[in-house]
Amino acid sequence: MIIATAGHIDHGKTALLEALTGHAGDRRRQEQERGITIDLGYRYADLGGEVTLGFIDVPGHERFVHNMLAGAAGVDLALLVVAADDGVMPQTREHLAILALLGIPRLWVVLSKCDRVDTQRQAAAQADIKALLQSGPYSNAPFFSLSNITGEGISALRERLLTEARDIALRADNDHFRLSVDRAFSVSGAGVVVTGTALAGRVAVGDSLLLTDINGSHQRVRVRGLHAQNRVAEQAQAGQRVALNLAGERLKAEHIQRGNWLLHPALLNPSRRLDIHLTLLSSASRPLEHWTPVHLHLGAQRLTGRVALLQHTSLSPGASGLAQLVLDGNTHAVYGDRVVLRDQSAWHTLGGGIVLDPAAPTRQRRTPARLLQLQALTQGGLEDALPVLLSAADNGLAPENLERQFNRPQQGWQLPHSTISKHTSSGPRLFAESIWQQHRSALVEALTRFHQEQPDEPGPDRSRLRRYGLPYLQPAVFTALLDEALLDASVVASGPWLHMPGYRVRLNAEEEVLKSQLWPHLEAGDINPPWVRDLARLESCEEVQVRALLLKLARLGQLHQVVRDLFYSEPAIEKLAHCAITLAQNNNTLEVVAFRDALGLGRKRCVQLLEYLDRLGVTRRFANQRRIREENSIVLRIKSR
């Protein structure tokens, strides 16, 4: 169990921990000179029964609230220390508000310095504290009256802590490991050591983790050794104070800052935008305006940024709402993390919230669909929110992204019955079955509409169909959708062209007449057919009309367009391919000169024909020579004769 102190400066927090653990605090020279706690202090006590309690001593001075925040995250129990002679003071109120914002599950009130006052003053101080707690989550907090000088009440508190530690349920450790670093130092002969409270998961000697920084970069490190609750151990779990001896390439303690994250690789997700459910303290002096600059505290990390309100232009004291934090550095939050916001000068705590989406979008963050998703996230975790999230996900949801967002390994998921998984080139995606069926219908509808609007075309290719009918789908998702439609024959492919089953481009009566007039000229031209302008002159018709018909015949597969306005029949192309195969049969080498001499055509035309054979896959160019591609269907057909 991890216990943190809280309370106003000079109310006896450090002395209390010394009385409980037998270990003195404030070992830093500055702390001893000034007589106050400046930074976090860590102590441990074996209270018997093989129970080791970890204590975090936090500073009470208003200038060091940021250090208090770094130590308060992830603790099981907070001891709110209030001096009986002073009673409730400013940092008593602020620390109490911070503990509530952090979601600390248990709070006990310790009334210290009782040896200095009479029972009447103690009763008055207790009444003030109860009034302070009455409207918050700790209204039923137990009280302990004691004196660090005489030792009165210390034993009772120690016994109660031991009982609580035995009864407290272990935190779930089946999530991925996370730790927010609060200290980093070097140990002679061991190397770099980092410490922090394990926020989730389990870690063991030999594990490979990622050490991240505020810039979004990361380094792979290996756990050489560890201490859990100040004892040498082979593994540690969520809810324990952990010291990890790390090994990594050029790893140095001075490069590791408080607030760096130590993560399981599956959780790597640097982000500068967090969508949260924000609550402004009722004690705030004024409403929180949109785009207010703030200091964010998450784990042991402190960042600056701004608050973008998503539902209103301002938030009144005591009110709650959805907001997006736009940060100046990267963090590695997960769903459910608690954040605390302080003002731009870092003097006053404004409020805090719960992280809903740790990788929030930069655009369309206020749309009704997006707000509906965030509202669903405020109601529960993965299983509760997934139906709403899927209903608005046209491109589906990547399981690995959900795993990072919620820190929930996929093996333990219970998906809604209407959820289906589809494999795409970018990995698996989860879809609501209704959304996937809508995509199927939209695909067929788009292709049918294309045929109606472009009756002279055999159909679009893949990329054109996506742009035409389903531009909102990512290419990988569209490909998976189309492959499924091709598999069950609801869509048919003819070469690169996609069309509905049974659809064929047909010539109208006028086009049939023109074809009958032009075809003899093309056949007679054989490997040297007339150009479009020559065909139009021979039949005394418009070039535009001839060109449109020949292009349509090429789309139907009845002609080959070698270059603009030059069309070859299928027999002529096969004759050219046969010539190329014959010329290359000795050493599978074909040159333009030999091809030109064999055909009796000009060099320019022969180059154009060979380039078209390259596009058909009959030949492949190597510098100034070409080779026959034996696996090509045209080559195989010619050789089989």
Same domain, 19 and 161: yes
pTM above 0.95, yes or no: no
Same domain, 158 and 13: yes
Task: Please check whether residue 487 lies inside any domain of the structure.
Answer: no
Same domain, 23 and 163: yes
Lowest mean pLDDT among 18-22, 204-208, 222-226, 492-496: 18-22
Query: pLDDT band for position 47 (50/70/90)?
Result: low
Task: Please check whether residue 488 lies inside any domain of the structure.
Answer: no
Q: What is the pLDDT of residue 304?
A: 95
Task: Please check whether residue 503 lies inside any domain of the structure.
Answer: no
Nearest CA to 12 among 96, 115, 163, 101? 115
Q: Indicate if the pLDDT at residue 472 is higher than 90.
A: yes
Q: What is the pLDDT of residue 1?
A: 81
52 vs 261, higher pLDDT: 261
Task: Please check whether residue 104 lies inside any domain of the structure.
Answer: yes
Same domain, 141 and 261: no
Of 267, 289, 319, the position where a domain reaches its end is 267
CA–CA distance, 88 with 132 (Å, rounded to integer): 8
Q: Indicate if the pLDDT at residue 237 is higher than 80.
A: yes
Indicate which CATH number applies to the domain containing 235: 2.40.30.10
Same domain, 158 and 302: no
Q: Indicate if the pLDDT at residue 254 is higher than 50.
A: yes
Same domain, 300 and 277: yes
Report residue 282: phi and psi, to 5°.
-65, -20
Indicate which CATH number applies to the domain containing 608: 1.10.10.10
Report, as an integer, the average pLDDT of 616-634: 91
CA–CA distance, 301 with 271 (Å, rounded to integer): 13
**Mean confidence (pLDDT) of the chain:** 89
Q: What is the pLDDT of residue 33?
A: 44
Q: 124-133, pLDDT tens digit by residue?
A: 999 999 999 9
Task: Please check whether residue 39 lies inside any domain of the structure.
Answer: yes
Nearest CA to 223 among 240, 238, 199, 242? 242
Task: Please check whether residue 482 lies inside any domain of the structure.
Answer: no
Same domain, 160 and 18: yes
Same domain, 160 and 275: no
Q: Indicate if the pLDDT at residue 31 is higher than 50.
A: no
Indicate which CATH number applies to the domain containing 40: 3.40.50.300
Q: Indicate if the pLDDT at residue 236 is higher than 60.
A: yes
Going through 234-313 in order, the beta strands assigned E by DSSP cover 235-237, 241-247, 261-263, 271-280, 288-289, 292-298, 301-309
> For a pLDDT cut of 70, what percent of the chain falls above it?
93
Same domain, 191 and 224: yes
CA–CA distance, 91 with 101 (Å, rounded to integer): 15
Q: What is the pLDDT of residue 66?
A: 66
Same domain, 546 and 631: yes
DSSP conformation letters of 462-477: HHHHHHHH-TTS-HHH
Task: Please check whether residue 219 lies inside any domain of the structure.
Answer: yes
Query: pLDDT band for position 34 (50/70/90)?
Result: very low
Q: Indicate if the pLDDT at residue 70 is higher than 80.
A: no
Same domain, 156 and 40: yes
Q: What is the pLDDT of residue 48?
A: 61
Task: Please check whether residue 473 lies inside any domain of the structure.
Answer: no
Of 267, 297, 323, the position where a domain reaches its end is 267
Same domain, 243 and 276: no
Of 136, 167, 198, the position where a domain reaches its end is 167
Q: What is the pLDDT of residue 204?
A: 95
Q: What is the pLDDT of residue 49?
A: 55
Q: 322-347, pLDDT tens digit by residue?
A: 999 999 999 999 999 999 999 998 88
187: enclosing H helix or E strand:
strand 183-187
Query: Is the separation of the CB atoms in 609 and 579 below 8 Å?
Result: no
Task: Show the domain range for 245.
Answer: 178-267
Total domains present in the chain: 4
What b/e readout covers 364-397, taking b as 16+ CB neighbours within 10 angstroms? Answer: ebeeeebeebbebbeeeebeebbebbbebbebbb
Q: What is the pLDDT of residue 504?
A: 81
